[in-house]
Structure 1
Amino acid sequence: MHPSNKKFKLTAAEIVPLVPNRGGCIATDMITVEGLPIMYMYRDEPVNEVDTGWQFFAGIEPDEYVNDHNNAGVYDVNTIANYDPAIIPYLDLPIGTELEREEGTDKFNIIAG
């Protein structure tokens, strides 16, 4: 499925500048289409100069889902921050950082990095 065929939880008009000009990231459709909160995030080596390396997951995606690139997309970090502003305090953490959300809170715990 091409990203433009997806029915996103937030419309373009609902996206506000929370962390503008941060670069790109990857997020699964469970976040952008289903509207689930981000429960797991990690920062990988960027693949180009606009990539931040951040990847965001709802934390319940099975391997087959994650391995199908149709179930994720490349987004501006600001867009994903609009879906879940709890990620904002962690965006400057270094490459190699993995975080897991504390259930029922906006706090993420570093599990690697």
Structure 2
Amino acid sequence: MTVSNRVMIDNCPVGYLYREESDDANDSGWRIFAGDETQDYAEVSSNFALYNASTIVERAPQLRTLLGAPYPIAFERDANTGEFVEIDE
């Protein structure tokens, strides 16, 4: 999983995630963001790192049920409920 440093280093909650076809055998295709990253931020590869699923689920347990979803799919945290809802991309 490719995860934004806003989540893993800055300790922001996960706000948005999507899954695309994986790049290689070591890639699940998941991309996980806080949701406030700018386009300029997202274009800098050093602002992201690879993590295994257990590390992400430890930080955000509610993702456990989402991570088995097939690609392509995207989820966003609902500001009112805090739950993740599937969105059209």
For normalisation by structure 1, the TM-score amounts to: 0.73
2:37 aligned with 1:61: yes
1:40 and 2:30 aligned: no
Structural mapping, 1:1-113, within 5 Å? 25-103=1-79, 105-112=81-88
Ranges in structure 2 where 5+ consecutive residues have no aligned partner: none
Q: Point out 4+ residue stretches in structure 1 off by more than 6 angstroms.
A: none
- Mapped to 2, the partners of 1:52 and 1:104 lie a distance apart of 29
Total equivalences in the alignment: 89
Cα distance, 1:106 vs. partner?
Answer: 4.5
Instruction: Give the match's secondary structure for 1:78.
Output: helix
Q: Pairwise CA RMSD of aligned residues?
A: 1.4
- TM (norm. structure 2) is 0.92
Q: Secondary structure at the match of 1:89?
A: coil
CA distance in 2, matches of 1:112, 1:77: 23
Could you tell me which residue of structure 2 aligns to residue 10 of structure 1? none
- Answer with 1 or 2: which has the greater Rg: 1
Give the Cα–Cα distance (whole angstroms) in 2 for the partners of residues 58 and 76 of structure 1. Answer: 17
1:42 is paired with a residue whose SS is strand
